[in-house]
Homo-oligomer: A and B are copies of this chain.
Amino acid sequence: MDDKPTSIAIVGAGTIGLSFAALHLAKNPDCHVIIFDTRPDLQDYVNTSLPGYLTDVDVAQCLTRLTITTSLEEAVKNADVVQEQGPENLDFKQKIWPEIEEAASKDALFWSSTSGIPASKQSQHMQDRSRLVVVHPYNPPHVMPLLEVVPSPLTSQDVIDRTLSFWQSLGRVPVLIRKECTGFVANRLAFALFREACSLVAQGVVGVEDLDSVVQSSMGPRWTVAGPFKSYHAGGGEGGLQSFMEKIGGTVQSCWDASDADVRSHDVRVNAAWQEEVCRQTHEAYGVVDVSERDRKTRGVLEALQDAILPGTS
């Protein structure tokens, strides 16, 4: 941005909002964060909840750079970035962006954390629709590095470029999605595997906890190091992915065919009969999950990967 410390306005103080606030405060030691929400207990709620998101940093120092407000105008008027995570509701989003546009400076970046409402729809009543871009996190954003940057066809290249470099400078992984599509990319991929998982459990091929063990001890660690294309490209040896498809393509197609047949014959749609048994097994296996333990382990995995990437380590 420029010489003064970056100012981030967080619009909506749910779990995503607080997680982003913590991320900015922790990763960018000069920035100022201002949280806007209309909930009456905002001060108490933020004081109680936010420290839980601030790990491995000086919490008191972070909190000196935090303001909260119940005035949208006050939140956004001096912001360099306005990051919205209000209700997942088109009317709300179409109404708030013109209000933000009215009150914010003309250079401020406008980001929506929506998981599904594209910028092209959210921006419909804005004066300058080129200003809005979706920045969709993988939850929780203070732990997970990914940000899906999803412009509308109207979003300006300048907004895209500044958004990508903002996140790169924070050491996160912003990925540009070239076309708006249902669910963006991360959820589309994850839900495709999840459907197959539900289908295999519905058929009695494997139990819920065993299926999780399969993933945790195979493609989880593999795909942390090398995504699916790089993995199968490696699997093809010198001939790469093309060679892999020549050798293994028959097996791949037979799995895809079996998958389609099984999904149909077990009626693997949301809320169909299979779902009750899958939910029952999951509850029986895990009770209530301790997400702080999950996040601590995830940090360990990401740090190990970071260490392994540095030259000279092994």
Apart from the given pairs A297-B309, A301-B304, 4 other A-B contacts in the complex at a CB distance below 8 Å: A138-B218, A144-B222, A190-B228, A240-B286
A177 to B, closest residue via Cβ: B206
Interface membership of chain A positions 226-254, coded 1 if the CB is closer than 8 angstroms to chain B and 0 otherwise: 11111011110010111001000111111
Main secondary structure, interface of A, reads helix
A145 close to B (CB within 8 Å):
yes
Answer yes or no: A266 CB below 8 A from chain B CBs. no
**Chain A residues with a Cβ under 8 A of chain B:** 115-116, 138-139, 144-146, 148, 173, 175-179, 181-183, 185-197, 200-201, 203-230, 232-235, 238, 240-242, 245, 249-259, 269-271, 275, 278-279, 281-283, 285-286, 288-289, 291, 294, 296-298, 300-305, 307-309, 314
Contact (Cβ within 8 A) B216 A204: no
Whole-angstrom distance between the Cβ of A12 and the nearest chain B Cβ: 17
Q: Smallest distance from the beta carbon of A120 to chain B beta carbons, Å?
A: 15
B286 lies within 8 A of A251 (CB): no
Nearest Cβ on chain B to A190's Cβ, whole angstroms: 5
